Amino acid sequence: MSGSLGRVAAALLRWGRGAGGGGLRGPGVRAAGSGGGGSGSAEQLDALVKKDKVVVFLKGTPEQPQCGFSNAVVQILRLHGVRDYAAYNVLDDPQLRQGIKDYSNWPTIPQVYLDGEFVGGCDILLQMHQNGDLVEELKKLGIRSALLDEKKDQDSK
């Protein structure tokens, strides 16, 4: 991770810890189960990533991420007001953990999917957040970023 990405990720992690943690899970966030045996098959993974507009495979849950990168992804989604997404805890199922890596051909967790398409991990999502691409991608999904409302509020002051 480059220096500036690392600093922003560290700031997001500090911000997330200071936010009280209780508000991480919005009304639509589903900490989905891994689906049981054979959950690493390509067909099952294809169905999981296409089931919801926003899907995240992470270590832990949105309420209790088990690694800093997973926490950063949760915090970025929270900053944008993304409340309706499916979250799969890869620590619950070794087949899911390896299967999603094979499915995406991406070696690390967390992994983010928008409208069934693999976006990337924490570093990619953070970069998209910083350069404004995430706002545009969410808009394509019919999700209005909360950052747009925050910017509008600041402009009106």
The amino acid that residue 155 corresponds to is D
pLDDT by residue for the chain (157 residues), tens only, comes to: 445 445 444 444 444 433 333 333 444 566 565 444 446 789 999 999 999 999 999 999 999 999 999 999 999 999 999 989 999 999 999 999 999 999 999 999 999 999 999 999 999 999 999 999 999 999 999 999 999 887 665 555 5
**What is the average pLDDT value for the chain, to the nearest integer?**
82
Residues 6+ apart with CB under 8 A from 64: 21
> pLDDT tens digits, residue range 98-125?
999 999 999 999 999 999 999 999 999 9
55-73: pLDDT as tens digits: 999 999 999 999 999 999 9
Q: How far apart are CA 41 and CA 101, in angstroms?
A: 11
Q: Residues of the chain with pLDDT > 90: what percent?
A: 67
> Is the separation of the CB atoms in 106 and 124 below 8 Å?
no
What CA–CA distance (Å, rounded) separates 39 from 98?
10
| Confidence at residue 149, expressed as pLDDT on a 0 to 100 scale | 83
Q: What are phi and psi for residue 86, nearest 5 degrees? A: -100, 135
